[in-house]
Protein backbone atom coordinates (compact mmCIF):
# COMPACT_ATOMS: atom_id res chain seq x y z
CA UNK A 1 0.00 0.00 0.00
CA UNK A 2 1.38 3.41 -0.97
CA UNK A 3 1.86 5.69 2.01
CA UNK A 4 0.29 8.90 0.66
CA UNK A 5 -2.05 7.37 -1.91
CA UNK A 6 -4.49 9.90 -3.39
CA UNK A 7 -3.08 12.89 -1.52
CA UNK A 8 -2.57 16.30 -3.12
CA UNK A 9 0.89 17.67 -2.31
CA UNK A 10 2.71 20.93 -2.96
CA UNK A 11 6.50 21.10 -2.71
CA UNK A 12 8.25 24.46 -2.99
CA UNK A 13 11.83 24.78 -4.21
CA UNK A 14 11.33 21.51 -6.07
CA UNK A 15 13.49 22.06 -9.15
CA UNK A 16 16.62 20.66 -7.54
CA UNK A 17 18.10 19.05 -4.48
CA UNK A 18 15.94 18.21 -1.49
CA UNK A 19 12.74 19.56 -3.03
CA UNK A 20 13.17 17.51 -6.18
CA UNK A 21 13.89 14.34 -4.21
CA UNK A 22 10.92 14.98 -1.91
CA UNK A 23 8.53 15.50 -4.83
CA UNK A 24 9.74 12.25 -6.42
CA UNK A 25 9.31 10.25 -3.20
CA UNK A 26 5.82 11.62 -2.53
CA UNK A 27 4.78 10.84 -6.12
CA UNK A 28 6.25 7.35 -5.90
CA UNK A 29 4.14 6.78 -2.79
CA UNK A 30 0.92 7.79 -4.53
CA UNK A 31 0.54 11.56 -4.16
CA UNK A 32 -0.27 13.95 -6.97
CA UNK A 33 2.49 16.53 -6.63
CA UNK A 34 2.63 20.17 -7.68
CA UNK A 35 6.28 21.20 -7.89
CA UNK A 36 7.01 24.93 -7.64
CA UNK A 37 10.19 26.95 -8.05
CA UNK A 38 11.67 29.97 -9.84
CA UNK A 39 13.90 27.65 -11.90
CA UNK A 40 11.41 26.84 -14.65
CA UNK A 41 13.70 24.57 -16.67
CA UNK A 42 14.69 22.54 -13.64
CA UNK A 43 11.13 22.38 -12.36
CA UNK A 44 9.68 21.22 -15.65
CA UNK A 45 12.40 18.58 -15.95
CA UNK A 46 11.73 17.34 -12.42
CA UNK A 47 7.98 17.04 -13.09
CA UNK A 48 8.61 15.27 -16.40
CA UNK A 49 10.93 12.82 -14.65
CA UNK A 50 8.19 11.95 -12.16
CA UNK A 51 5.65 11.42 -14.94
CA UNK A 52 8.10 9.26 -16.87
CA UNK A 53 8.42 7.06 -13.80
CA UNK A 54 4.64 6.64 -13.64
CA UNK A 55 3.87 9.34 -11.08
CA UNK A 56 1.51 12.30 -11.18
CA UNK A 57 3.16 15.72 -11.21
CA UNK A 58 2.86 19.25 -12.56
CA UNK A 59 5.17 22.24 -12.35
CA UNK A 60 4.26 25.87 -11.65
CA UNK A 61 6.45 28.97 -11.48
CA UNK A 62 6.34 30.28 -7.92
CA UNK A 63 8.40 32.77 -5.95
CA UNK A 64 7.71 31.45 -2.44
CA UNK A 65 8.50 34.84 -0.89
CA UNK A 66 5.66 36.49 -2.87
CA UNK A 67 2.13 36.58 -1.35
CA UNK A 68 0.70 37.13 -4.83
CA UNK A 69 2.44 34.02 -6.16
CA UNK A 70 1.11 31.98 -3.24
CA UNK A 71 -2.42 33.19 -3.93
CA UNK A 72 -2.09 32.27 -7.61
CA UNK A 73 -0.66 28.79 -6.98
CA UNK A 74 -3.26 27.91 -4.36
CA UNK A 75 -6.07 29.22 -6.58
CA UNK A 76 -4.89 26.85 -9.33
CA UNK A 77 -4.82 23.95 -6.89
CA UNK A 78 -8.27 24.83 -5.59
CA UNK A 79 -9.71 24.96 -9.10
CA UNK A 80 -8.10 21.67 -10.12
CA UNK A 81 -8.50 19.61 -6.93
CA UNK A 82 -10.40 21.56 -4.28
CA UNK A 83 -7.98 20.71 -1.52
CA UNK A 84 -4.37 20.53 -0.37
CA UNK A 85 -3.35 17.61 1.84
CA UNK A 86 0.42 18.03 2.12
CA UNK A 87 2.52 21.18 1.98
CA UNK A 88 6.31 20.99 2.06
CA UNK A 89 7.82 24.44 2.54
CA UNK A 90 11.28 23.65 1.22
CA UNK A 91 12.30 26.79 -0.70
CA UNK A 92 15.20 28.65 0.88
CA UNK A 93 18.86 29.48 0.69
CA UNK A 94 21.52 31.74 2.11
CA UNK A 95 24.83 33.48 1.71
CA UNK A 96 27.95 33.45 3.84
CA UNK A 97 28.10 36.67 5.84
CA UNK A 98 29.06 37.20 9.45
CA UNK A 99 27.29 39.63 11.76
CA UNK A 100 29.72 42.44 10.91
CA UNK A 101 29.59 42.16 7.13
CA UNK A 102 26.01 41.13 6.34
CA UNK A 103 24.12 44.06 4.86
CA UNK A 104 20.54 44.89 5.73
CA UNK A 105 19.58 44.13 2.13
CA UNK A 106 21.17 40.66 2.37
CA UNK A 107 19.57 40.06 5.76
CA UNK A 108 16.12 40.92 4.43
CA UNK A 109 16.55 38.77 1.33
CA UNK A 110 17.61 35.72 3.36
CA UNK A 111 14.69 36.27 5.73
CA UNK A 112 12.34 36.61 2.75
CA UNK A 113 13.29 33.39 0.97
CA UNK A 114 13.47 31.33 4.17
CA UNK A 115 11.33 32.62 7.04
CA UNK A 116 8.89 34.86 5.15
CA UNK A 117 8.25 32.19 2.50
CA UNK A 118 7.55 29.59 5.18
CA UNK A 119 5.27 31.97 7.07
CA UNK A 120 3.22 32.88 4.00
CA UNK A 121 2.90 29.26 2.90
CA UNK A 122 2.01 27.98 6.36
CA UNK A 123 -0.57 30.70 6.99
CA UNK A 124 -2.14 30.29 3.55
CA UNK A 125 -2.34 26.51 3.88
CA UNK A 126 -3.90 26.66 7.35
CA UNK A 127 -6.62 29.03 6.15
CA UNK A 128 -7.49 26.55 3.40
CA UNK A 129 -6.90 23.19 5.07
CA UNK A 130 -9.07 24.00 8.08
CA UNK A 131 -12.11 24.06 5.77
CA UNK A 132 -11.25 20.91 3.79
CA UNK A 133 -10.66 18.34 6.50
CA UNK A 134 -7.13 19.21 7.58
CA UNK A 135 -3.69 18.27 6.32
CA UNK A 136 0.02 18.11 6.99
CA UNK A 137 2.57 20.90 6.74
CA UNK A 138 6.27 20.06 6.80
CA UNK A 139 8.64 23.01 7.02
CA UNK A 140 12.27 22.50 6.07
CA UNK A 141 14.70 24.24 8.41
CA UNK A 142 18.33 23.23 8.99
CA UNK A 143 20.75 22.13 11.67
CA UNK A 144 21.78 25.79 11.50
CA UNK A 145 18.74 26.40 13.71
CA UNK A 146 20.67 24.69 16.54
CA UNK A 147 24.34 24.87 15.59
CA UNK A 148 25.61 28.43 15.29
CA UNK A 149 27.85 29.04 12.29
CA UNK A 150 29.85 32.26 12.68
CA UNK A 151 29.54 33.18 9.02
CA UNK A 152 25.84 32.37 8.65
CA UNK A 153 24.26 34.99 10.89
CA UNK A 154 21.13 35.67 8.83
CA UNK A 155 20.68 32.06 7.70
CA UNK A 156 20.91 30.70 11.25
CA UNK A 157 18.41 33.29 12.46
CA UNK A 158 15.97 32.49 9.64
CA UNK A 159 16.16 28.72 10.16
CA UNK A 160 15.72 29.06 13.92
CA UNK A 161 12.69 31.24 13.21
CA UNK A 162 11.18 28.53 11.01
CA UNK A 163 11.48 26.10 13.91
CA UNK A 164 9.57 28.19 16.42
CA UNK A 165 7.06 29.51 13.87
CA UNK A 166 6.16 25.90 13.06
CA UNK A 167 5.79 24.87 16.69
CA UNK A 168 3.61 27.87 17.51
CA UNK A 169 1.41 27.25 14.47
CA UNK A 170 1.13 23.54 15.28
CA UNK A 171 -0.03 24.23 18.83
CA UNK A 172 -2.51 26.80 17.53
CA UNK A 173 -3.98 24.39 14.98
CA UNK A 174 -4.22 21.62 17.57
CA UNK A 175 -6.05 23.81 20.04
CA UNK A 176 -8.42 25.01 17.33
CA UNK A 177 -9.26 21.44 16.31
CA UNK A 178 -8.27 22.01 12.69
CA UNK A 179 -6.81 18.50 12.16
CA UNK A 180 -3.65 20.11 10.77
CA UNK A 181 -0.27 18.77 11.84
CA UNK A 182 2.83 20.93 11.42
CA UNK A 183 6.37 19.60 11.85
CA UNK A 184 9.91 20.69 11.03
CA UNK A 185 12.74 18.81 9.36
CA UNK A 186 16.32 19.87 10.07
CA UNK A 187 18.73 18.51 7.43
CA UNK A 188 22.43 18.35 8.01
CA UNK A 189 24.89 18.73 5.15
CA UNK A 190 23.39 17.02 2.11
CA UNK A 191 25.20 16.23 -1.13
CA UNK A 192 23.33 18.62 -3.39
CA UNK A 193 24.63 21.40 -5.59
CA UNK A 194 23.86 24.07 -3.00
CA UNK A 195 24.97 21.90 -0.09
CA UNK A 196 28.40 21.24 -1.54
CA UNK A 197 28.77 24.89 -2.53
CA UNK A 198 28.06 25.93 1.05
CA UNK A 199 30.55 23.35 2.30
CA UNK A 200 33.26 24.80 0.06
CA UNK A 201 32.54 28.32 1.23
CA UNK A 202 32.56 27.22 4.86
CA UNK A 203 35.82 25.31 4.63
CA UNK A 204 37.66 27.35 2.03
CA UNK A 205 38.36 24.11 0.16
CA UNK A 206 39.47 24.40 -3.46
CA UNK A 207 37.64 21.24 -4.58
CA UNK A 208 34.24 19.74 -3.84
CA UNK A 209 35.90 16.48 -2.83
CA UNK A 210 38.00 18.22 -0.19
CA UNK A 211 35.00 20.06 1.27
CA UNK A 212 32.98 16.84 1.45
CA UNK A 213 35.88 15.05 3.16
CA UNK A 214 36.17 17.80 5.75
CA UNK A 215 32.47 17.70 6.55
CA UNK A 216 32.35 13.91 6.52
CA UNK A 217 34.80 13.94 9.42
CA UNK A 218 32.24 15.94 11.45
CA UNK A 219 29.51 13.30 11.04
CA UNK A 220 29.64 10.31 13.42
CA UNK A 221 27.76 8.18 10.88
CA UNK A 222 30.77 8.47 8.55
CA UNK A 223 29.22 10.25 5.56
CA UNK A 224 27.22 13.31 4.60
CA UNK A 225 23.57 12.99 3.65
CA UNK A 226 21.85 12.20 0.38
CA UNK A 227 18.63 13.93 -0.74
CA UNK A 228 16.54 10.79 -0.19
CA UNK A 229 17.66 10.70 3.45
CA UNK A 230 15.66 13.88 3.96
CA UNK A 231 12.86 13.04 1.53
CA UNK A 232 12.10 9.81 3.39
CA UNK A 233 11.85 11.71 6.67
CA UNK A 234 9.43 14.15 5.06
CA UNK A 235 7.42 11.22 3.69
CA UNK A 236 7.03 9.85 7.22
CA UNK A 237 5.74 13.19 8.50
CA UNK A 238 3.39 13.53 5.52
CA UNK A 239 1.91 10.06 6.02
CA UNK A 240 -0.62 8.75 8.54
CA UNK A 241 2.21 6.84 10.20
CA UNK A 242 3.03 10.07 12.03
CA UNK A 243 -0.56 10.85 13.01
CA UNK A 244 0.46 11.50 16.67
CA UNK A 245 3.37 13.76 15.68
CA UNK A 246 2.99 17.53 15.60
CA UNK A 247 5.08 20.52 16.70
CA UNK A 248 8.12 18.24 16.45
CA UNK A 249 11.62 18.76 15.10
CA UNK A 250 13.04 15.86 13.11
CA UNK A 251 16.82 16.23 12.92
CA UNK A 252 18.34 14.22 10.07
CA UNK A 253 22.05 14.98 10.21
CA UNK A 254 24.08 11.82 10.68
CA UNK A 255 24.80 12.83 14.26
CA UNK A 256 26.34 16.22 13.37
CA UNK A 257 24.54 18.15 16.13
CA UNK A 258 25.31 15.48 18.74
CA UNK A 259 29.07 16.06 18.62
Q: What is the DSSP string of 73-141?
A: HHHHHHHHHS---EEEE-------B-TTT--HHHHHHHHIIIIIHHHHHHHHHHHHHTTTT-EEEEEE-
Nearest to 234 by CA among 248, 220, 221, 216: 248
Q: Catalytic residue among 155, 172, 178, 236, which?
A: 155
Helix and strand element counts for the chain (H, E): 9, 7
Spatial neighbors of 81 by CB under 8 A, at least 6 apart, are: 8, 32
Distance CA 102, CA 182 (A): 31
Spatial neighbors of 194 by CB under 8 A, at least 6 apart, are: 16, 17, 93
Is 155 in the active site?
yes
Q: Which residues are catalytic?
A: 155
Amino acid sequence: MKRVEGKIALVTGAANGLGRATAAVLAREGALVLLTDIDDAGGEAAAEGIRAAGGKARYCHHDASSPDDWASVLARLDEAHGRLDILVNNAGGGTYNDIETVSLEQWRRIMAINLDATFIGTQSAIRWMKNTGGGNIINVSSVAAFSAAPNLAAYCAAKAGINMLSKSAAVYCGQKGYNIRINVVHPGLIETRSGVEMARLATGAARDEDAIAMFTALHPIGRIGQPDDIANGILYLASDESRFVTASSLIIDGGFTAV
